[in-house]
Structure 1
Amino acid sequence: MTDGPTYGFDTLQIHAGSRPDPATGARQTPIYQTTAYVFRDAEHAAALFNLQEVGYIYSRLTNPTVAVLQERIATLEGGAGAVCCSSGHAAQIMALFPLMTPGKNVVVSTRLYGGTITQFSQTIKRFGWSATFVDFDDLDAVKAAIDDDTRAVFCESIANPGGYITDLKAIAKIADKAGLPLIVDNTGATPYLCRPIEHGATLVVHSTTKYLTGTGTVTGGCVVDSGTFDWSASDKFPSLSAPEPAYHGLKFHETFGPLAFTFHGIAVGLRDLGMTMNPQGAHYTLIGMETLSLRMERHVQNATELAEWLEKHPAVEAVTYAGLKSSPYFKRVKSICPRGAGALFTVALKGGYDGCIKFVNALEIFSHVANLGDARSLVIHSASTTHRQLTPEQQTAAGAAPNVVRLSIGIEDVEDLKTDLDRALAASM
């Protein structure tokens, strides 16, 4: 879109980054299903490879369909730029890749998706990196966990699986004082409910698989750069501040300024890690994002009504939804997620582990899947699935105790969802 008026969210989710196709006039963004692009001449090719000119070389790096999605997500998040990749897990590695070197660590919240906990506690060790897990509600503990080898702070805006709301402003102050970037996974909130950059985040990551696409059709990830961090303020981030041998000594921050992280993500991250988003996947996500605000409104509406109903149900021990007045995070919702607390939360059942299994098996409308953020309502028993690799202590710390099920509330008729849940809860006792 052209410079000029400040457009609203509903307009930007449809138009940002998108223009009629110059060759055909097609109004919907085409799927550019191509691996490579013809250079105008030898000089043009050389300029592209030297990062002296922006353009398309090879679809592992850049693709016109994916580029529209990158611009749209960056615009909605209020960022300077974005890099899309193959999954949310890929986005997390892409976010850390320019920041970390062997021996360095990242301070992370204990309240994370189970797969992220495994990635950070196990997989990144193979790169020589490590993670220090801290309860992010304990700000003193977060400060104490940061040492001279820390290179980033990581959390989720709405934590999976419990739907907890992180005090992003407080965590951002700690990270900023330490001269470190704050990375926020905003998958559970989307920029419609929360814009972490406005609360001090440096980078925002998404599993676009979830709410941004909204239909459970494709996997994808994205890293959004705020463009506000001074990568040259210290010698902690040489990938961005020091000469890059692969580009004849080019310094990314000096050369690209606010877009340094984005250019590095494409020119080095995608070039060498190859975690590329395919153009058809980007197309599905672009279509899904056109109704993002409408879906999120219904998600939140349904989740609020169901959480209030479940809290009073005789088969339920507790509900973690931050939108409940009984939640310790209720006041935080207004400042961090003013449009609502999302649609992801957990329910502790009085029937225990066995009751959870009976509950899941008795549901009909809710689909038992390892996903969230779909237009359909979803359920999973985290302790036996997504968090199965964790110790009982880690499960409890992550909000996935054995007697807990995670609900991702969809956009169906709320009365139908109540009927389905009531029947399954009766079976759980």
Structure 2
Amino acid sequence: MNKINAALDRLMKLHPDEINLSLDRMLRILKALGSPEKSVPPIFHIAGTNGKGSTGASIRALLEAQGKRVHVYSSPHLVRFNERIRLGSTGKFVDDDALLVAIERVEKANGGEELTFFEATTAVAFCLFADTPADYLVLEVGLGGVLDATNVIEKPLVSVITPISKDHENFLGNSLEGIALEKAGIIKPGCPVVVGPQTDAIRDLIENTAGRLRAPVWFQGQEFSAWDEGGRLVYQDELGLLDLSPPKLAGFHQISNSGLALAAIRAAGLLEGDDAQNVCDKALRSINWPARMQPLYEGALFDELPKNCEIWVDGGHNPGAAEVIASFLADLTDKASRPTYLVMGMMNTKDPEGFFEQFEGLAKHVLCVPLTTTQAGRSPIELAEIAKASGLSASAHGNLDRAIAEISRRSKLDNEAPRILFGGSLYLAGEILARNGTLPE
């Protein structure tokens, strides 16, 4: 692993001092590598603000349930970089040896020229995907869409756009319509696009973009629908209705994400036969995507926290994600009320005001902690003040140990086992999973 970290550090040092958002660097390195992006399997290309990872995991599960081999490219990772690249030949994350060979290949072809870290690692992924047999590639956008490093592909099998809200405003701007236009940039001429729930204005923008490019478009709520009915996932499109098992992933929003994934599969001309019901049920029961309302049932954290506590981990970090998380917590509270504690760390580029305001009346206390695996974390003191201004009880802690000790102290006063959500950042989620010994697979 030390060799991998050293190689990744070398890629980091290629990062330009000022980022010029364009595809020029990406096109240059891919040409020097022999255009591996043109030799990858058919692509499901996914953009959006929330739900990209869960939707991609659902697409992968639906394909694998049909016996297909699926490459996956997603970001960021939680614990190890290898999580970003899953190879269809094994169904597992790329191993260190293959990853190191691909990194060194990109370094040699690049010749020391400037590349962003994401551009370099996307080139690494394309090399691995081109050289390893598979039937499909699930390709997740890193940032935006139109100028994202993944958007060098010319003809995706299906483009997928998940719900769009504000995030990464420092790169994408504050206009929701502007952000949507960036993400709609993955739509390609004549290639079908499936779209998750959106505001009317964003739906119109996507429809206009697709129309201009003559790309068939499927909107959730129009060409297809997915809803919960008696604890089941019901999906309907022009081919008919499917009464399915609920997805394994927790949260009402996963009904929508799974429906979007199923629509993407159908838009590709797959799962149209009599076996659709059985294949979908098998897939929905197997979906796995860590740090998305992920429950923990055992591990090192249970030795540190109060007995019989309930632990959840979620990496959602924008107001749209917070709304979904808060809705899930509200449902849990209705079913089984417990004192709820939020342990939060957040990047300094995020919107903590918009995030925290979703939890008023739900959280007994918010414990703010630093992010230890990035230099771009917001101060716990500042974060706690923002939480208080949002109407929440909050405190700042210098590290996780102190936050955990404070939860234990408060739980003795409550005389009731707490419900604890660790979240606000994928960095914190990754730290929690590593600390607990629950590594992504």
TM-score over 0.5 for the alignment?
no
Q: TM-score, normalised by structure 1?
A: 0.31
Q: TM-score, normalised by structure 2?
A: 0.31
